[in-house]
Amino acid sequence: MIRVEGIHKSFGAVRAVRGVSFEAPDGKITGLLGPNGAGKSTTLRVLYTVLRPDQGSASIDGADVVTQSLEARRRIGALPHGAGLYPHLTARENIAYYARLCGIDAGSIDDRVDSIIRLLEIGDFADRRTKGFSQGQRTKVAIARSLVHDPQNIILDEPSNGLDVMATRSLRDLILKLKDAGRCVLFSSHVMQEVAALCDDICIIANGKVAIDDSAAGIRERTGCDDLEDAFVEAIRMVGPS
């Protein structure tokens, strides 16, 4: 369960996030939707604690991301935008490294890594060094790595970027599996169709503010647009320019 309450974040004169609030409950998929530069990544970076909010607060399962950041990180598996792997290590070693850092027992690391490799279906290339992996292979390994400590909350920043149809589909299956396991999944995207197909809740962000936060049906209704893409454009128009 992720709760965000009125966070602000500026970088110098640029006000990237200006009062974003929303909730992502357990057992649901929440989509953070918005055009490029809307403040999605900044919001997520605050959640996985690499940035501190200037104002407002956020918590992961009740653990504040600023004052209890270590506890909050324990409950998150995060896939930052453009996450990179260690090219000289194999996929398995990359995953095992994160398992060790997350404090998984030395004795059960191998089992844990094996099961995550099965879950992500990456056994074919698990023992190859990741140098030269395709974008899809890299994303899968990066997701596997972030799930290795079995976190309750999963934050994925534009996970489908650069993936082909097959990879996108298996990513969608994985997200649904996580939902069925009662996890809280929060992911960002700028692709309307992808979010609509998958999410229980959609939070549209534009210009650093929440334009609308509702189910797909609710959004159609509130904007008066049948087509979700029109609804998206309408919602962004409602926020107005900064």
Partner 1 sequence: MMRTLTAVFRKEVLDNVRDRRTLASALIMGPLFGPMLFAFVINLSIERSLDDIERVTELPVIGGEYAPNLLRYLDSRNIDIVDGPADRDAALDAVSTGTHDVVLVIPPEFGEQFSASTPARVELITDQSNSQADREARRVRGALAAYGQELAVIRLTARGVSPLALRPLNVDEVDMSTPSGRSAILLGMMSYFFIFALLMGGMYLAIDTTAGERERGSLEPLLALPVTRNQLLLGKVAATCVFMALSLSLSLGSFFVALKFMPLDELGMTPNFGPLTVGAAFLILSPFILLGAAVMTLVASFTKSYREAQTWLSVVLLAPTLPILIVSILTLRPRLEFMFVPSLSQHLLLIDMVKNEPLDPLHVAISVTSTLLFGGLLTWICARLYHREGLLG
The residue ranges that bind partner 1 (CB under 8 A) are 45, 48-52, 70-71, 73-74, 76, 78-80, 82-89, 93, 97-98, 100-103, 129, 142, 145-146, 149
Residues found in the chain: 242
Of 51 and 126, the one with the shorter C-beta distance to partner 1 is: 51
- Minimum CB separation of residue 36 from partner 1 in Å reads 18
- Minimum CB separation of residue 99 from partner 1 in Å reads 9
Q: Are 4 and 20 in contact (CB under 8 A)?
A: yes
CA 41, CA 43: separation in Å to the nearest integer? 5
Question: Coil, strand, or helix at residue 84?
Answer: coil
Q: Are 229 and 206 in contact (CB under 8 A)?
A: no
> DSSP for 99-147?
HHHTT--GGGHHHHHHHHHHHHT-GGGTTSBSTT--HHHHHHHHHHHHT
Of 171 and 239, the one with the shorter C-beta distance to partner 1 is: 171
- Minimum CB separation of residue 155 from partner 1 in Å reads 8
- CB within 8 Å of 151: residues ≥ 6 apart: 74, 75, 76, 77, 183
Of 75 and 209, the one with the shorter C-beta distance to partner 1 is: 75
- Minimum CB separation of residue 209 from partner 1 in Å reads 22
Of 45 and 209, the one with the shorter C-beta distance to partner 1 is: 45
Of 82 and 123, the one with the shorter C-beta distance to partner 1 is: 82
- Minimum CB separation of residue 94 from partner 1 in Å reads 9
